[in-house]
Amino acid sequence: MQEISTIQQMKDWSRQSRNNEQRLGLVPTMGFLHEGHLNLVRHSLAQCDRTVVSIFVNPIQFGPGEDLARYPIDLERDKKLLADLGVDAVFIPKKDELVPPDMNTFVQVENLTEHLCGHSRPEFFRGVTTIVLKLFHIVQPDVAIFGEKDRQQLEVVRKMIEDLNLDIQIVGLPTIRESDGVALSSRNSYLSPEERESARSIVQALESGKSLILNGETSAEIVKNQMRSVIASRTGTRIDYISVCDPRRFGEIQRIENPVMLAMAVHIGNTRLIDNYLVEKNSCKEPC
């Protein structure tokens, strides 16, 4: 596995791959890899001739008072995991090169980012799309792979690709969960044992909402109230948002038809976690 730290090196490596007509896959990450990330990497390895994994804790997607300073980092562990899988290159750009101090250009996808995480974290999506687009220009992948736990982010990236006419296939893969259903997240490492137990309320709330819908409930407010009550039953929880929304545009839905997304962001102690389910009333899908 080649370790690449500069933009020019990454461009040169990518150009060589494309000159050899090799299909190139990119898995963008912020590191501290878990099985969810590794599942994305395995998909790229299976579908592409060469795979690049980027590791970059993106400072411009964090707002004031968020967890940038304490975001978990273990580059040596990450590199070993990727090398063991057979990844071709890991791109670990330097912050001042990818986000120079005099940077004045940013990318904003409108409308889709007004809801859910975009409403509660106004800086978030502009930071995500700006850095993802820069990575796309630097790496020039044929395929980029994301997880559906961040479904809003996935759809925002897809819209950016569509609007800017980029020739990149965006692949979304289902959320990987622990044995008790809790979605894998790098931020789970923040949780104390008691907080980890309370984190189960998130998937339990989603399950309760899904059950209501599959049993015929059509009122989004009733479903949201049920999910709120599950979260509130656990100690140390604080709801950022709970939503029953359109799974592509993310606007709130009042009357539930097909399909809907149940989404939430919940603070467990000082840790903010997100999760979602895609629910179809007539043909229940697996949790996303």
The residues carrying an active-site annotation are 37
Beta partners for residue 147, in sequence order: 173
